[in-house]
A and B are shown apart, each in its own frame.
Chain A
Amino acid sequence: MESSRAQTIARDVLAILVVAIFMFPIAWWALSSIKPYSAIFDRSGPVYTGFTPTPDNYRVTLLGVSRVDIGMEQGGEAAGVIKGGASSYDSRQSLLDSAIIAVGSTALTLLLATLAAYCLSRMQFSGQQSFLFWILSQRFMPPIAIVIPIVFMFRDLGLRDTYTGLILVHSLINLPLAVLLLKSFFDDVPREVDEAALIDGATRWQTFRRVVLPMVKGGIAATAVLCFIFSWTEFLLSLFLTTSIRTVPVKISTFVTSTATEWGYITALGTSAIIPSFIFILLVQRHLVRGLTLGSLKE
């Protein structure tokens, strides 16, 4: 279809405008994280420029600098005004907790899911479709429906408020996606590859481990990223199942207290939490749609 120059430009402008609207909340959020207190809470109108950027919100959340010390730096009288302990805004432990849980659950998910996905892709057995549907149905389970019994179960097993507990639960939620997605990647590898290896005398396990698995490396990486991001961003289960371990999303929600909402710290920690996900997702762009549709749609 031939389109005029004016139409082309109109389309470009519109496309940029639409994307800019979608980027605005993130930009506003990141901007707020370097604003001083007074600029965030300015009631006369939105502050875009004209403030002195400050790293203080990051120093408190990421470096654990006490906010009383920051108050002292800014002049003695400010320190007197600031109340409350500083330690509760130090989020280094939360970032570590989130990272341990996300990496742990990604590893466990991949281990269980690659085995199942290879089998579902390569072997035929009765009830295969039902098995697949059963796994898929787990994806549709509302977290609220299983979290209540899991709280009791974890209390009895001593898994409440542990890394292991949350790793297990996040893996459970990630498994359906991982199995279906990995199955679609295994399906891309022709069966002849397996048959050739088997005829050459390799066992089924060797065929899987040495021949097929290396061929789906890209797919495994994409699956890993999606599992990681899910665990990194998950909120409900972490909220219900932990008290002293605080993943980043839960930690952020605790910055809203009955006396004040600490927007400076919230935006600083939020911005820091988004960055790793952004980098990861851009790395697996190519397989993203397949991941979002549980493997049913391939680019």
Chain B
Amino acid sequence: MSTPTVTRETPRWALPRFMTAEHPFPWLAPITVMLLVFGIYPLAYSVWLSFHKRNVVSRQLDFAGLHQWTRAFSDARMWHSLETTLIYTFVALAVQLALGILIALLLDTDRKGYGVLRALMTLPLVVPPAVTGMMFLLMQDGSFGVLSFYLYALDLISPAQPILTQPGTALAAILLADIWQWTPFMVLIILAGLRALPKEPFEAAAIDGATGIQTFWRLTLPMLRKVIAVAVLIRGVDLFRIYDYVYIITAGGPGTATETLSFYAGRIYFTGDFPYAATLSLIVLVVLIVVSNVFVRLFKVRF
């Protein structure tokens, strides 16, 4: 019982099916090649490097087993930079999220002029991070920085101990640059989330006599859960691999106080010890993969 086919007859010389536009292959092949050559191959090479060691005499790389890895795990400076990175990531995330929610609630209204304010809030996002670093370096300079000046005037810090010369305040100085640049990221995403919320539950809550704060904790925040999860994931990944601000603002200093893991890896790279630099950079990657996978599963983030 065969039905007559209406499709055009395929000529004998036709390409194999996987080469035709009906098959995903030709659509995905270019990007796959690109990602394999410039993404996967370098990664594999990094892994290979991490099992080798520079031979100073022959200037060759000798197989060294787990040498670089045991070296990393017994390297106090690595642990310190990991700790700095974690502190940096969590403090920045917490501040950006809290400020982001507050500012988004503040700007979430249809009244005239707020559109302009929302547009202005996008501007910090497009400043090159290297320039942001420079901006804060200029403002935090110990002798003529505008921010330093006001902090001295308010007696919050002493001119004898400029911001960038003290371990604690130097990290805060980098954090400030990050918070300035990326709080708007949270604001915009949460604003979009707020705008997409249905009206009815809020009307019902108002009728039931819920206060503004109750409505926020019981209704707004849970309904923004997904939006916040996406923002935290994307931001968290970027924060954990932070490099630019550290390079520009403190160069890891004073001493190694503000050295993050990515920055430490970069510093080792510039000393010429490529296998160890690769190992350190892989630690950044492994932590990111594990944490982001757990996060994606836990909060059911979908793209």
Contacts and interface: CB of A to CB of B under 8 A. Distances in A.
A270 to B, nearest CB: 4
Given A25-B180, A119-B27, A112 B34 contact: yes
Contact of A145 (B31, B117, B284): B284
Given A149-B45, A299-B195, A168 B189 contact: no
B135 A25 contact: yes
Contacts of B282: 145
A235 to B, nearest CB: 4
Interface residues of B, number: 92
A46 interface: yes
B42 A235 contact: no
Contacts of B137: 261
The dominant DSSP class at the A interface is: helix
B39 interface: yes
Contacts of B175: none
A217 to B, nearest CB: 20
The dominant DSSP class at the B interface is: helix
B30 A115 contact: yes
Contacts of A119: 24, 27-28
Interface string B215-234: 00000000000010011001
A134 B144 CA distance: 48
A239 B130 CA distance: 11
A6 to B, nearest CB: 15
Given A123-B24, A144-B241, A295 B45 contact: no
B128 A153 contact: no
Contacts of B111: 8
Interface string B92-117: 00000000000100110101011001
Contact of B302 (A19, A274, A296): A296
Contact of A144 (B109, B150, B243): B243
Interface in B112-137: 113-114, 117, 119-132, 134-137
Contacts of B301: 296
B251 to A, nearest CB: 10
B21 interface: yes
A193 interface: no
A280 B121 CA distance: 15
Contacts of A168: 34, 38
A142 B284 contact: yes
A297 B106 contact: no
Contacts of B185: 292
Nearest to B106: A15
9 contacts: A15-B106, A15-B114, A131-B28, A138-B39, A233-B126, A235-B247, A252-B128, A277-B126, A289-B192
Which 4 pairs across A and B sit closest by C-beta, in order of nearness?
A: A119-B27, A233-B128, A149-B45, A249-B130
